[in-house]
Structure 1
């Protein structure tokens, strides 16, 4: 299912699941302030002009490569993307490439970019990139292969693990109520790979070991707030044993 075209200007879930970083850090890392008013009582507080539109490529918003692509006062053509309402490709999936020089080859999804409908396939759809070229020192640099993004809507197809053939698929529910991907050609379930849980900190949530600076899991899950129908002041008075004995002055509203 898809919705209408929209301009890509948000961060959303820009492949940050693997990095395991909070939103506030990402927003602070990519922030560009063009103007901020001086401090003082004669100035309007919090008056600031920030950059609103960014170019999003394959580099994550908190990296130096992203800053180089979005240097201050630079503008790029608008990118229009048709968002996929229900994302169906995950890290670790086996896909078959349908276009380009690697057409017909199969590979493993290395990285996803949901906001651009992109994936990177490990070792396929590559181009040569020159690093370290220096004409002054007569150094030609080093060439490396770099994977290029592929559109999941037209450039790749999911592979059925039962016969390793490309297939169309759809989401269905099992008798137990679990949502799964089912091959339309064979009717078999295409399981979601276990590498979906993998982040920069752990291979899976179950194998993660708490570090000394981590907040303990039992502390995080503990409920410490009990909602009440009272104000903050009334809550403090109740905890301190203060009873309200003042008689409020009559007031009239018209």
Structure 2
């Protein structure tokens, strides 16, 4: 089941379905009764994922929001676990590790950098506590990948190695910027491959899913079935005339 969700895009469809639920209301029609009505309202992505209560509250129906204009990113350059340098704000010039990526807004969150402080649960009798909250940074203009050879920010370009492996290369030094181990084991649905345990009672195991059950052949379907069950065709085909 784990491999099925990844290969067939189950998680992406689930996220889109949850986003669509946020822009819907239930109305009562005279004959049809209660029906779900979709509102022509674009989904507003935040740092909260679509299935959380905070995201559903932020996308309540009939809330006027300014239209968002995003710079299209043809090749996504930054992944989970990469070391980047902050280019703007009070933490300009500092290097940190990316701990979250939201491609729908061109955002990435750097651990411990670009934070804001706010009081939580503060009342007249309770002093509350101050929370440190990381704010998003644009991957297009506000952060840059760090070249591991000199620990300096650099732009990248995608190339192929001799073995056909696609890699990121620094445009300044020509060195390969490797992917972090975290980005290779954590999938799109935020599940770590190394920590995932298959439940044989409920999940389809990877061994069964990878088993080859069909081998294509040049013969027809009928001929393939006859060959499998040992049936020999002794009848002569009728003549065919073309006019």
Length-normalised TM-score, structure 1: 0.70
From 182, 188, 191, the equivalent of 1:201 is 191
Show the counterpart of 2:99.
110
Output the CA distance in 2 between the equivalents of 1:25 and 1:177.
33
Show the counterpart of 1:187.
174
Residue 34 (1) aligns with residue 25 (2): yes
From 114, 119, 134, the equivalent of 2:123 is 134
How far did residue 92 of structure 1 move?
0.7
Maintained 8 Å contact 2:25/2:36? no
Length-normalised TM-score, structure 2: 0.73
* Secondary structure of 2:14 counterpart: helix
* Secondary structure of 1:81 counterpart: coil
* Secondary structure of 1:25 counterpart: helix
Gaps of 5+ in 1: 1-16, 231-254
* Secondary structure of 1:80 counterpart: coil
Moved runs in structure 1, 4+ residues, more than 4 A?
A: 36-39, 222-230
Q: What are the equivalent positions in structure 2 for 1:15-26 lying under 5 Å apart?
A: 22-26=11-15
Output the CA distance in 2 between the equivalents of 1:111 and 1:49.
31
From 80, 88, 93, the equivalent of 1:91 is 80
Gaps of 5+ in 2: 1-5, 222-243
Output the CA distance in 1 between the equivalents of 2:214 and 2:40.
38
CA offset digits 1:158-204 (Å, max 9, x no partner):
101112111121111111111111111211100011111225432xx
Output the CA distance in 2 between the equivalents of 1:208 and 1:26.
21
Maintained 8 Å contact 1:36/1:49? no
From 56, 65, 71, the equivalent of 1:76 is 65
Maintained 8 Å contact 1:34/1:51? no
Q: What are the equivalent positions in structure 2 for 1:141-156 lying under 5 Å apart?
A: 141-156=128-143
Maintained 8 Å contact 1:83/1:115? no
CA offset digits 1:88-115 (Å, max 9, x no partner):
1011111111111011110001111112
From 207, 214, 217, the equivalent of 2:206 is 217
Residue 167 (1) aligns with residue 154 (2): yes
